[in-house]
Amino acid sequence: MNYININKKKKDINGYIHITGSKSESNRFLILKALFPNLIFLKNISNSDDTLLLNNALFSNKKEININHSGTAMRFLTAFFSIKEKKEVLLTGSYRIQERPISILVETLKKLGANIVYEKEIGFPPLRIIGKKLLGGEIYMNANLSSQFISSIMLIASTFENGLKIFLSKKITSHSYIKMTFKILKKIGLNISWNNNIIYIKNIKFSKKKFKNKKKILIESDWSSASYYYSLVALSKKANLNLKFYKKKSLQGDKIITNIYKIFFNVKTIFKKKNINLKKNFLLKPKTININLNSTPDIAQTIAVTCTGLKKKCILKGLKTLKVKETDRLNALKNELFKLGVKIVLTKNSLKLLNFKKNKKNKYINTYDDHRMAMSFSTLGILYPISILHYNVINKSYPNFWLNLKNLYFIIKNKKI
């Protein structure tokens, strides 16, 4: 089995890193570009496997499309192909993708008139989709599960003859991602409103006045990927790190890391034009760490590992959706943190790090086909040697990550067990 060993002799972080565009933004804009090809020009698109898979699938002539491990592609393409008139496609993916429920999205689309059939188990991929014109109308959606179900339908709703009203029920999970979709639709000029828990998207014919000129979109770099550098700065003795193409006013909910790492981990963010500069702030004393990540669950692993490196007890809440991500992220965290001597208690919605034993030996971290497990645990390499199994999983969201760590003078060696 191949793995990489990560270590760093000097415990400071200095350098300049360019992370490509946000995966979440890129995937949304690519759906819209496929729907309205003459309206959008994109720069700084994500180079992640997820985004490449999605882009290739959007223009594929194949009758069967395999999106591998990409949950985002499965959801966004289910909605997209449902409106591609006279096109029939079998949409499938990896074994893990076929375990992830998709019935809420499929049944909602079917209520709108979509022709979608479960090829195997009811409620799960693979799906056979025969595209047709959808009229729209009104739908009710449970908002306390995956936000991508809602975003998927929002992205295609302006093609519906009668537009679409979405009534959101229950507490909204991953609110920031629905808000991102809303702002992106508004940014390109679509007629959309969101009042209380009702989202109303009108047909594109009501928006054409705003589409006289092609819109040039510079996609902001990925804040989720930036979180690993916040962790490195927090764990370092000294830091002066610059990251390229970030905005003070961001569409991405994970920008909240600027506040979280300032308050709890002494990391200062300075915005300079289109860049950010990260430094240690030794004047602040971290408070007790108790954070609700309901709107931004993707940064939970990074924060848990930062707390482990600093040996700081913490409570992270709002993690309900982590059990149905690339892996069961809560149990994956518990398993791997246990190897590092961490006592961790889980509920369905939270984790608590209670105490820490001294870690001396190099540990092998399993990644569970989850890119965020690999990258979040790798940051411990600034403190002591750590080994990451199945390390190529990072290609899902951030293919240049290991190269960028090498540019920060990490020693990364390829090895075999």
Side-chain half-sphere CA neighbours of 326 within 13 A: 22
Q: Which long-range contacts (CB under 8 A, 24 or more apart) does 352-361 make?
A: 352/313, 352/314, 352/315, 352/316, 353/304, 353/307, 353/308, 353/312, 353/313, 353/314, 354/313, 355/313, 356/308, 356/311, 359/384, 360/384
Phi, psi (degrees; rounded to nearest 5) at 222? -80, 120
The Cα 277–Cα 414 span in angstroms is 31
CB atoms within 10 A of CB 67: 24
Tell me the one-letter amino acid at 186. K
- Crossing angle between the packed helical segments 23-35 and 147-156, to the nearest 10 degrees: 30
At which residue do the structure tokens 């409106």 appear? 83
Token digits for 255? Answer: 């920008």
Which residues lie below 8 Å from residue 82, measured CB to CB, with a gap of 6+?
A: 109, 114, 115, 116, 129, 131, 132, 134, 156
Q: Which of 50, 222, 254, 298 is catalytic?
A: 298
Q: For residue 49, indicate whether it is catalytic.
A: no
Element (H, E) at 389: strand 386-389
User: Catalytic amino acids?
Assistant: 298
